[in-house]
Structure 1
Amino acid sequence: MPIDTHKLKEHLWEKLENGPFAMVGLRDNTSHCEPLTVQLDKDQADTLWFFISKDNRLAKGGAALVNFVSKGQDFFASLSGHATIDNNPAMIDKLWSGQVEAWFTGGKSDPKLALLRIDISGAELWEADVSLVGQLKMLLGSSIEAGEQGSHAVVTDTKI
């Protein structure tokens, strides 16, 4: 059965909306990833946004990696792209929330505020969709067949 990559991409954005926490890092081999809250703009496909401090190690930008596990631990994504600071006031207004304000006491004009933009250039997506038979096999320690494992795809974009 062929993998429905469109469905996997739809699930990625649904899962990110329901549990928007990801591990984000630069591919510079000098630092680890850190947990951040994804800000989604439905008008911009293949773009993730994060409010960070200007002195955050991610602020220097460059090749980036975002790893995501859904709340239910049934969807996994590894997204690669390019990170830049984009302090467009209109985007800050659009993405601003009380949750963000809790981190930046100076509000939208906080001198430490930076809006990190990651433009996605590729992704690997996994969705665990183990069937009832597959779940029973796991409990009994039996082999899981290919059709009982779920879906996996490597994609060049996440547009739906």
Structure 2
Amino acid sequence: MADNKDAPQEVAAKFLAKLAESPFIMIGLTDGEHSEPMNVKLDEDQPNALFIFSGHDNRIATGGDAMAQFVGKGHDFFACLAGEVSQETNQATFDKLWDNRVEAWFPNGKADARLNRFDISSAELWETDVSIAGRLKMLFGGTIKPSESSSHAVVDSVA
């Protein structure tokens, strides 16, 4: 895979766009618990944080160092994110991100929900947009050259 065919921040911007299209990640604390699929919310005012509504007893609710993985809807974008989960205590952020899709998971409404904040400290991002020549090689055999491959970026910020 070609490294940084696009500038790292361009790849990061593509990641945020892909995440908005399919807002699901696998996330887990690095304490040995397995990751689980969660729906994320984005707040444009806080671009290096992902927000996750959960129950108060959810395995990420204790907070701490975490890793998250993302696969784009078309399997054309992948991300591995490192960071820290904590409780978002700002009620305005909670209310801003709360919607009918979130409410459907919480029978007693907001009282059952906790808003977790995943602050991203670093990310490794892969865009697998293989060229037409590369796709033909995949179909009929052959070696895909790095220039026919994709973009890869390691970033400290997705903003």
Q: For 2:140 and 2:56, how far apart are their aligned partners in 1?
A: 51
Deviation at 1:2, TM superposition (A): 4.5
User: Which residue type is aligned with residue 152 of structure 1?
Assistant: H
Report SS of the residue matched to 2:60: helix
Moved over 2 A (4+): none
- Match of residue 156 from structure 2: 156
Q: 1:6 aligns with which of 5, 9, 20?
A: 9
Instruction: For CA contacts below 8 A with separation 6 or more, give which structure has more relative contact order.
Output: 2
- Match of residue 25 from structure 2: 22
What RMSD, in angstroms, separates the aligned Cα atoms of the two structures? Answer: 1.1
User: Which residue type is aligned with residue 38 of structure 1?
Assistant: V
Q: Is the 8 A contact 2:15 2:77 kept in 1?
A: yes
Q: For 1:81 and 1:49, how far apart are their aligned partners in 2?
A: 12
- Match of residue 86 from structure 1: 88
Q: Is the 8 A contact 2:18 2:77 kept in 1?
A: yes
Gaps of 5+ in 2: none
Q: Does residue 1:46 correspond to 2:48, yes or no? A: yes
Q: Is the 8 A contact 1:16 1:70 kept in 2?
A: yes
Q: Is the 8 A contact 2:70 2:79 kept in 1?
A: yes
Q: TM-score, normalised by structure 1?
A: 0.94
Query: How many residue pairs end up in the alignment?
Result: 156
Q: Does residue 1:102 correspond to 2:104, yes or no? A: yes
Residue-by-residue CA offset, 1:95-138 (whole Å, 9 max, x unaligned): 01101000112222x2x311100110000000011000000001
User: Which residue type is aligned with residue 130 of structure 2?
Assistant: V
Report SS of the residue matched to 1:13: helix
Report SS of the residue matched to 1:57: coil
Gaps of 5+ in 1: none
Q: For 1:3 and 1:37, how far apart are their aligned partners in 2?
A: 28
User: Which residue type is aligned with residue 27 of structure 2?
Assistant: V
Q: For 1:140 and 1:81, how far apart are their aligned partners in 2?
A: 41
Deviation at 1:87, TM superposition (A): 3.4
User: Which residue type is aligned with residue 40 of structure 1?
Assistant: L
Deviation at 1:45, TM superposition (A): 1.5
Q: Is the 8 A contact 1:87 1:114 kept in 2?
A: no
Report SS of the residue matched to 1:147: helix
Deviation at 1:42, TM superposition (A): 0.6
